[in-house]
Homo-oligomer: A and B are copies of this chain.
């Protein structure tokens, strides 16, 4: 099995609802870790918000003061965390976000309005 699988099948227990089991933590922590770098956070944002749902590496690289290999390294990290998907078409490589896992991470962090927490927008659905 490749490095980025495993995450896809999981559902999403809200973190503040019940204690997340060790194996779920072990599965999702790498995804959060991948988001724990400002460059990768911006890269993912650029990919996820791209017109048409995908973006060329050649549009990502010049947006940072980093060398090509370094950007490639960060993209690989995002890929191995299962957050994005790469696809080579001719000379260029295009990246696409994987909404499922983003949704899963968001659901995990969602605070349900239990107790003294007047948080609106309670959404805990899980596809």
A55 to chain B, nearest CB (A): 10
Known: A37-B33, A119-B99. A49 touches B105 (CB 8 A): no
A110 to chain B, nearest CB (A): 5
Q: Using C-beta atoms within 8 Å of the partner chain, give the interface range for chain A.
A: 35 or more
Known: A19-B49, A42-B19, A49-B17. A119 touches B97 (CB 8 A): no
A102 and B111 form a contact (CB under 8 A):
yes
Query: A48 interface residue, CB < 8 Å from B?
Result: yes
Known: A18-B49, A105-B109, A109-B105. A41 touches B32 (CB 8 A): yes
> Which residues of the partner chain B approach A5 to less than 8 Å between Cβ atoms?
none
Least CB separation from A27: chain B residue? B38
12 additional A-B residue pairs with CB within 8 Å, beyond A22-B42, A52-B115, A52-B118: A15-B44, A16-B48, A19-B42, A19-B46, A19-B49, A22-B38, A29-B37, A32-B36, A34-B36, A53-B118, A106-B107, A106-B111
